Amino acid sequence: MEAYLDNAATTKVSAAVMEKMNQVFMTDFGNPSSMHQKGMDAEQYIKEAKRQIADTLKCEPSELVFTSGGTESNNMALIGTALANKRAGNHIITTRIEHASVYQPLLFLEELGFKVTFAPVDEAGRVRVDELVDAVTDETILVSVMYVNNEIGCVEPIAEIAKRIKEKNPKVLFHVDAIQAYGKMKIQPAKEGIDLLSVSGHKIHGPKGSGFLYIKNKTKIKPILHGGGQEKGMRSGTENVPAIAGLGQAAKDMYANLEVNRKHLFALKERLAERLSKVEGVTLNGIPKEGIPATAPHVLSVSFAGIRSEVLLHALEERGVYVSSGSACSSNHPDISGTLVAIGVKKELLDATLRFSFSVTTTTEEVDYAADCVETLLPQLRRFFRK
């Protein structure tokens, strides 16, 4: 049996998305900037995808810019707004648990002379809002907080953060990395006070290399790619029409069944959490006092005392169970997870933690099989590891 439980890293492209993309690849393959009919047909896919995504966010299609994925969206949001607003100030605030595609652009901006403050989080991964707000000054131009953490699945109080930072400094722009939240949660940027919102397609059964950035109308931002002026000058380069069409289809499908999907994902998460929590030396990470329903439905972080995560990961892989030892985007680097350190995970568990993540296609049988494998393997590996 095979159990793919690494859906926070990437999801399988859906049949509907494949069908839509194939239509573009094989039939409507024109360049959307071309003036002839083939070009206009291709352009219609872009317009359709923007309408589909705008419907999910209750925003205007004109507020969306298509990108190559979450990393580009985050870079565009952070670098583009920082450069556009540097006369208003040079201070940026983020948290200690952000993804590398936020953290690294901010380090780059520090090299350009911007000052970055990293707000702390509690033991469940939630931002300490009072301390974040206290850090806001007249020089603060941008705050960036992820909606859902990609490693432990904690959900941040986005609307509260937006309200409080803007009360203290109305000129502050608020960016949200929603790459793990979009498609799993109801998100309305205008209602929640979000100025910029990053999304990636391959987390929601869309294609890799697809994504978008929501930019609230009249937000001051500079493009970071220059060329032919596509996407109203914000993202030059010939649009990846098949990927855009697939992304629009994926967004439409995920939100058409949002509540059913959430119920299914939470059931899987709670089932696996219950099974694993009964195993000796197992700790669940990022679960607040309110319990699992207060977290994202598709991510479960688990620490296993007495065994290295890499050893257990590959032992599970040999049995057809696929999980992650952290963020897939940083899995090639041996550095200890900054998220686990920030929430106070014990030192001996920092390199003993796995992430299980689910999708709408994950079955109860897969979860039970994974739990069975963990229960069987752990005692064997611990005896070997202690030697």
Catalytic residue among 59, 154, 329, 373: 329
Residues 20, 219 contacting (CB under 8 angstroms): no
Domain positions in the chain are 3-11+258-386, 15-256
Is-catalytic flag, 329? yes
What would the mean pLDDT of 266-291 be, rounded to a whole number?
96
> If you average pLDDT over every residue of the chain, what do you get?
95
Which residue's structure tokens are 């941008």? 142
| pLDDT at res. 336 | 75
Superfamily of domain 3-11+258-386 in the CATH hierarchy: Aspartate Aminotransferase, domain 1 (3.90.1150.10)
- 22 membership: H or E segment, kind and range: helix 15-26
For residue 372, give every residue at least 6 positions away whose Cβ sits within 8 Å of its Cβ, in sequence order, or none: none
Confidence of residue 103 (pLDDT cuts 50, 70, 90): very high
What percentage of the chain reaches a pLDDT higher than 70? 97
Residue 106 to residue 92: CA distance in whole angstroms? 8
Q: How far is CA 55 from the centre of its chain?
A: 20
Q: What is the DSSP string of 257-305?
A: THHHHHHHHHHHHHHHHHHHHTSTTEEEES--TT-GGGS-TTEEEEEET
Three-state DSSP at 171 gives coil
Evaluate if residue 386 carries a pLDDT over 70.
Answer: no
Evaluate if residue 159 carries a pLDDT over 90.
Answer: yes
| pLDDT at res. 335 | 58
Class of domain 15-256 (CATH, top level) = alpha beta
Both structure tokens of 346: 């014990």
Closest Cα partner for 382 from 274, 281, 273, 278?
281
Residues 210, 244 contacting (CB under 8 angstroms): yes
